[in-house]
Amino acid sequence: MTTAAPADTLAVADPLDIATIVREATADDHRNAETRGFVTRLMGGELSLADYTAYLAQFAWVYEALEERGSRVGDPAVFDPKLARFAAIEADLAALGAADWRRTHPALPATAAYAMHLRSVSDDDVRYLAHHYTRYLGDLSGGQAIAALVARHYGATAEQLSFYDFDLGDEGPVRYKRRYREAMNALALDADQVDVLIDEARASFRMNGAIFEALGSTVRSA
């Protein structure tokens, strides 16, 4: 175990299986977030492409806040700038006829709260990592299934689904996710920092779930 470091710094040391610890500790939160009524209806083909557009627009607000931090000198390898999704989301929204998404799809209160929280933790690497992990690993995992279902149910084109098309070269999502987890495991987090990471990841899933709940009460059915 390495000497404790401040909660707002990350360094490289002997590996700890942080990725597995966080995944197992947040399994219930993850499941609760992804099984909200709006998500299951959208993925089940019960809604419409307009509802998917509303969903994507809310997450445009989230990714804008997540990525405002940008790349910083000395960032750990896990904060890979190639994962950035905001530009792809904006391109998708334009292809979906919502180029003016800021006006047509203002942030719901739950979305605004999440975006505000992301900005508040952007200088705390441990807390920021929790959101980085839940968002980008989710995009590389379940996000691929979302793209296939939205294309199948609502006729979305590749031009409208570039959010899920990561430029990973020959590596592919599976190998990249393994490398991401290895980068997490190479961080010198002590037990207290791991607790902070888990608590923040759980908060991330709750805030995502709150957005899904808000969408479920506002979007129209197909």
Angle, to 10 degrees, between the axis of helix 27-34 and the axis of helix 18-25? 50
pTM: 0.88
The confidence score (pLDDT) of residue 11 equals 44
For residue 38, give both structure tokens: 């709006």
d(CA 135, CA 143): 10
Q: Which residue has the tokens 């009524």?
A: 37
Q: Which residue has the tokens 């968002």?
A: 135
E strand residue ranges, the chain? none
Where do the structural domains in the chain lie, given as residue ranges? 18-216
d(CA 40, CA 123): 34
d(CA 191, CA 162): 38
Give, for all 222 residues of the chain, the pLDDT tens digit: 344 444 454 544 445 688 889 989 998 888 887 777 899 999 999 999 999 999 999 999 999 999 999 988 888 899 999 999 999 999 999 999 999 999 999 999 999 999 999 999 999 999 999 999 999 998 998 888 899 999 999 999 999 999 999 988 778 888 999 999 999 998 889 899 999 999 999 999 999 999 999 999 986 544
d(CA 63, CA 72): 17
Which helix (H) or strand (E) segment is 214 a member of? helix 191-216
For residue 216, give both structure tokens: 């479920």
d(CA 188, CA 24): 19
3-state SS class at 188: coil
d(CA 196, CA 204): 12
Q: What is the DSSP letter of 163?
A: G
Q: How much of the chain is in helix, strand and coil states, percent to nearest 5? A: 65, 0, 35
18-216 has which CATH code? 1.20.910.10
